[in-house]
Chains A and B, each alone.
Chain A
């Protein structure tokens, strides 16, 4: 197990700054997930750690040793590619042993390692097959096996599940988590799928435009997003953002105007009367009266007119408007008998409300 440190790391392609000063310490054995929208630089950052992209400035240290100029193969990292990047002309065994043969490891040891990895991944029966004879899921396992045999200090995964179908994706996700638990190696995983991030990570690193917006445990990020971007990116369905204005600001509370009504939140805000704020409410935290839900005991958001309903079996998701035409998504547990056109009174527990200022930053703890 090895730690990894990034210090003021930047990457520029010509005049374009892709990574803009990333500082991050990853503990030995930690499972860290880089998450962010397309083009946020998460894959580039991973490739810089792997040694596939030169670092423009800053320092990369693995196990305390500076690695900026060290060749990819000597960094002690192994990478699983999005495309798997299996050698199509080699069988599974050769794909897994190629790196070891390159390192001139004795044949018996190569054999032991390949068979052990194949056993862990349950692909022993596929060792003689060529990649084209494998399914997507099997290819994925071989790609992971190729990383395992090298016994790397750090595993890097670049969106490894994005080419798999939904069912296989869940299954492989569980297996990767199990693999991490079994071998305990440091793992860095890139994805744009926030469910993968939430389920796999010890720590999530949310990136936007080459900058770390927030890093922390999945629940930390879910419960206390530092800004509107992170709040919107983590969580599914996405957090609702409602425009509100400060009606009265007191020492320990604030009264907000929303859709012609007033609601009071027990938290002070550093802005005066009339200041526009954004109220963030997660769809799953909203309680709807008249939909068979519990009677609202939180702050009222007013009347919600249902426009469209999605029934997922375990959850009912309603899309619609508040009285002032602001859109709202409500996710209700179980199967609810609501339909388009219904009017529900909706509320939310005060502690579940998130407030964001004009600069999009979170207000309060």
Chain B
């Protein structure tokens, strides 16, 4: 593929998928700044291995998979960065950062509060419009597991909303 074609193809991918990738990154990292970094890293990696993407139809899953891997790398790095900081402090900082970043609605806070393993497939399904097969592919799970997690994700959300519709309106430390 010529350089010019590669560049065109790349920019088209950026235009079409940057929003979905940013949102996926936001819900993975729960941090707007980290999300932006993740998207940039993801597209840089995509640029470097663009030749390996043969099937345009698979572009979205491919990009989401790269992003997810980038996010996992972030945790590997973080382990070393913060090894001597008490974990409690970390959690507090994170909540503060989140509150500063954006005002979240009750529903958004309930989505945030879901365990990662439920939140991730739900974001992929509802926000990114991925099919069960695509989600299974991205998360490297079998489809039945994905469907079970999606069921549990909605079940937990509905449960939380019925039991505690205003829980997240209270101050985080209140």
Does B associate with A?
no
